[in-house]
Structure 1
Amino acid sequence: MWHRHWPALAALAFVLAALLPWFVPAAPAPRARHVEWPQQWDGRALRPLAQSAVEQRFAARFPGAIGRFTDGQRVIVLRRVNTPTRMLHPAADCFRGLGHRLGAVALERDARARLWRCFESTAPDGQRLRVCERIEADDGTSFIDPSSWFWAAALGQSSGPWQAVTVVEAL
């Protein structure tokens, strides 16, 4: 008898399978556990800085850890993630979102031969900044943009955890 009803039973099974994600709670995004942030950056001692309200809201949803520091001359933002995520986005997006005008984008090598993506930013109040960023992996690979990092990480071509570094200094 059931052989007459198998098409209806199969359709019901497919509908239930399609609806299942609506009833099963999504697993929370993996967060980095306690992170031991560096005590210095490029030979300069780091002091922790408080996060702004906007940064706190973003950090609450970020699937990793975020640390904000100063070396007395620059602000260094470190973001640590253990798995690929689209929430690790370019600093340029943040600055544009805050109303900054961007210009003078360039790739630069520092004294240690690390490659950085840098740009100049002008805040709505006229303050000019120089912003440089890169992503470093524990396996030694590095990236200058989150998109290339994401695909390399997602496809297993780079293994984490990863640390995105953004350095901001006044011009």
Structure 2
Amino acid sequence: MFENSFVNRVLHKTLWLALLPACMLWSAFAMLSRPADTAPPQQGAGRELPAQWQGATLRPLALSEVEQRFTRHFPGTLARFAIEAPPAETAPAQGGVANESIAAGGWQVLVLRGVDKPTRMLHPAADCYQGLGYRIAAQQLELDRQRQLWRCFEATRGQAGSGQRLRVCERIVDANGQGFTDTSAWYWSAAMGQSQGPWQAITVARPL
């Protein structure tokens, strides 16, 4: 009985040692012969940065340290710009009062996030500002002069009167021009094939 078990163990080990190099060779062959388009995509690679937005000249800005860390895990692209001329004013939202301009006066910052597939990592701008220590208030929907709907809010950090207070508006646009003001609605529409990519999340911030 012991002899048979010993022989079996030797045979199994011999067979395994013979098959292991073959498995390694097959894995290497499969990797080398894999078509190039099956490699993990570099999403957003090669995207051309815009020079203008709504008639305003854009000046590229360097990403902050926090943004650089974010891009290491974000499945898409992130670009930040200074808007050097004010875009169009917002029109009154349906059922609301006339809104102030999305970008009236002062410096403005435009952040563009691009993704090629649905992802839960495309967070609302309000969540991003809260993560940076801002308090969020006065959230509402607004229409601009082109009748495009935006989700806007006020972000405040620091002491009243001496802190930082921003007006932030955002929307997501798909390849066909369809717009979204809610990231969950965008995600499910994209995941179910009702919205086609690539998608771009547009965020505009200005001081108050």
TM-score scaled by length of structure 2: 0.67
Whole-angstrom CA distance in 2 between matches of 1:35 and 1:79:
11
Distance 1:30-1:157 versus aligned 2 partners, 3 A rule = farther
- 1:48-68 C-alpha deviation (Å, 9 max, x unpaired): 000111100001111111100
Aligned to 1:129: 166
Bigger radius of gyration, 1 or 2?
Answer: 2
Aligned to 2:71: 59
Aligned to 1:155: 192
Residues 112-123 of structure 1: matches in 2 within 5 Å?
112-123=146-157
The code of the aligned residue for 2:61 comes to: L
Whole-angstrom CA distance in 1 between matches of 2:131 and 2:177:
31
* Residue 124 of structure 1, CA deviation: 2.5
Whole-angstrom CA distance in 1 between matches of 2:40 and 2:164:
38
Aligned to 1:166: 203
Which ranges in structure 2 are unaligned for 5 or more consecutive residues?
1-38, 85-106
Aligned to 2:139: 105
The code of the aligned residue for 2:79 comes to: G
Whole-angstrom CA distance in 1 between matches of 2:128 and 2:40:
24
Whole-angstrom CA distance in 1 between matches of 2:50 and 2:42:
22
Whole-angstrom CA distance in 2 between matches of 1:29 and 1:94:
26
1:81–1:163 contact (8 Å) kept in structure 2: yes
Match among 30, 53, 56 for residue 44 of structure 1? 56
Aligned to 2:114: 80
Which SS does the other structure have where 1:46 is aligned?
strand
Whole-angstrom CA distance in 2 between matches of 1:84 and 1:103:
28
Whole-angstrom CA distance in 1 between matches of 2:147 and 2:118:
26
Whole-angstrom CA distance in 2 between matches of 1:105 and 1:30:
35
* Residue 166 of structure 1, CA deviation: 0.3
Runs of 4+ in 1 over 3 A off after TM superposition: 27-30
Which SS does the other structure have where 2:153 is aligned?
strand
- The answer to whether 1:69 aligns with 2:81 is yes
Whole-angstrom CA distance in 2 between matches of 1:60 and 1:119:
27
Identical-residue share of aligned pairs (%):
57
Match among 120, 142, 145 for residue 182 of structure 2? 145
The code of the aligned residue for 1:105 comes to: Q
Aligned to 2:95: none
TM-score scaled by length of structure 1: 0.81
Whole-angstrom CA distance in 2 between matches of 1:89 and 1:55:
13
* Residue 146 of structure 1, CA deviation: 1.0
- 1:94-114 C-alpha deviation (Å, 9 max, x unpaired): 111111111001100011111
